Structure 1
Amino acid sequence: MPSTDADSRLPLLLFHAYPLDSRMWDGVRAALAEDVRLITPDQRGMGGTPLSEGDTTPPAPDLAVAAADAIALLDRWGIERAIVGGASMGGYVAMALLRLAPERVAGLLLVDTKAEADDEGPRAVRLAAADRAEQEGTEGWLADGMLPKLVGATTHRSRPLVVERVTELIGSQPASGVAWAQRAMADRPDSGNALRAAGLPTLIVVGEQDELSPPGPAMELAESLLQGEIAVIPDAGHLVPLEDPDGFLSVVRPWLARRRGA
């Protein structure tokens, strides 16, 4: 495609959380797009992206597949390197992309996510949820089971529109994509060594009330990285860009400005 001024801006590739889609970025999309060339795909099986094309058999669940999808997208747009990031599962995909093609990553923006693999307990819960999604669909139980920990206590108490929006996004996801994503996350490896070896500028953003990816381990990860930084957002849980868009932008935009000037 022909080059434009917009094409020359710093690319920022952001992956969404589970079990949502790229609409989770809507509250920060316009502001980020003023600064960078923003790319927010729906991941395989979620939102508007099918799990497989036509009648083909879906690939085995693996976050490396989602990472390869993203690399193909960068190739189509003629982008050699990008800041790569994501929230929750999206962070896992960003780390999978780093493991698969570190030369394509200029920096990392990790939001309410973690580097370690699942222990056996959480892994079993994921696999059980995948089976249930395939057998029953996802209506009702998936949102009901996830919402108590997916957003923070302050959001539950004082941001009803955010809770309503998250519920809507969860309810719109295909059961097949939910099952695939859960199995892919259950089998993900630890990414700590890959992050430390890369030595890249990395901003870790975490909600103060995040119960799924708490601030303590996030701080420890940031401290272990050569160019790691951390920002803890008050009164937010596991979905900071949805719960507090302004707080998210207040830490991410200055960090991106430094990346553009590097």
Structure 2
Amino acid sequence: MAIVLVSGFMADETLWDDLVDPLTDYGPVLPFALREGDTIETMAEAIIPHLPERFHIVGFSMGGYVAREIVRRLPEQIESLILIATSARGDTEEMIRQRRSALKSPPERFKGLSRPAIQSSLHPAMRDDADMLARVRDMGVALGGHVFHRQSSMARDGDLDRLSDITAPTLIIAADTDDLRSPAEAQELVGGITGASLVTIPNSGHMIPLEQPDALARVMTGWLETL
């Protein structure tokens, strides 16, 4: 059974590098970055033609919104859903303003996310780790300025009122020190998706696949074994 991995805001396929080997025991691993589309719907539409007949789907952060859209469009093809460090809330005006304020420079001058932006996504113990900062920045550079402009210009609608549409077995994974997504947002996902369960990864900020890949892999593979 294939495992489809959907990355988040300005994160390319290398987000999942440390999880590919442990997940391969459960089926072919297919990572996707959100290179195309300027809405959640069009991002999902860009990925759907490349999907197998049946699969597990994993969505990280903004990729969680896209994963849920894919689940709604292809319910008969979904084996299970895993949502990591994500939410079902719509963007606030302040979130939209902050992202769009970074669009003053043309796409050609984009050199990756700023140091403060990257640090806000990491556990305090990781915020001055040069290798971690470079890894997050390099993902943004690889995606490029045009993708940054598209993703930063978006205004995501929430889907709290549609979570009950999801009937696939679902696991929610949160971090204990995520400054971008709150415990309440994880609880909303658990409460809205029938039968969903929640696991919290300790000692991690928002970037769980990079910060705590071993712990994340154990949680994911342990849950997949129960299906």
TM-score by length of 2: 0.90
Q: Is this contact kept in 2: 1:133–1:175, CA < 8 A?
A: no
**CA–CA separation in structure 1 for the residues paired with 2:178 and 2:204:** 7
Unmatched runs of 5 consecutive residues or more in structure 2 = none
**CA–CA separation in structure 1 for the residues paired with 2:93 and 2:31:** 31
The ranges of structure 1 where at least 4 consecutive aligned residues each deviate by more than 6 angstroms after the TM superposition are none
SS state of the match for residue 123, structure 1?
helix
- Residue-pair matches, total: 227
Distance 1:173 1:132, change over 3 A: farther
SS state of the match for residue 198, structure 2?
strand
**CA–CA separation in structure 1 for the residues paired with 2:45 and 2:7:** 16
Unmatched runs of 5 consecutive residues or more in structure 1 = 1-9, 46-58
Distance 1:121 1:71, change over 3 A: same
2:173 alignment partner in structure 1? 205
**Which one of the candidate residues 227, 233, 245 is aligned to 2:201?**
233
**CA–CA separation in structure 1 for the residues paired with 2:14 and 2:214:** 16
**Which one of the candidate residues 160, 185, 188 is aligned to 1:192?**
160
**CA–CA separation in structure 2 for the residues paired with 1:36 and 1:112:** 23
Distance 1:102 1:193, change over 3 A: farther
TM-score by length of 1: 0.79
Q: Is this contact kept in 2: 1:215–1:232, CA < 8 A?
A: no
> Based on CA coordinates, which of the two structures has the bigger radius of gyration?
1
Say whether 1:134 aligns with 2:111. no
2:187 alignment partner in structure 1? 219
87-96 or 203-212, larger mean C-alpha shift: 87-96
Identity %: 26
Say whether 1:71 aligns with 2:48. yes
1:44 alignment partner in structure 2? 35
**CA–CA separation in structure 1 for the residues paired with 2:31 and 2:180:** 23
**CA–CA separation in structure 2 for the residues paired with 1:172 and 1:34:** 28
Shift in Å, 1:165:
1.5
Q: Is this contact kept in 1: 2:80–2:170, CA < 8 A?
A: yes
Q: Is this contact kept in 2: 1:150–1:237, CA < 8 A?
A: yes
**CA–CA separation in structure 1 for the residues paired with 2:106 and 2:163:** 34
SS state of the match for residue 35, structure 1?
coil
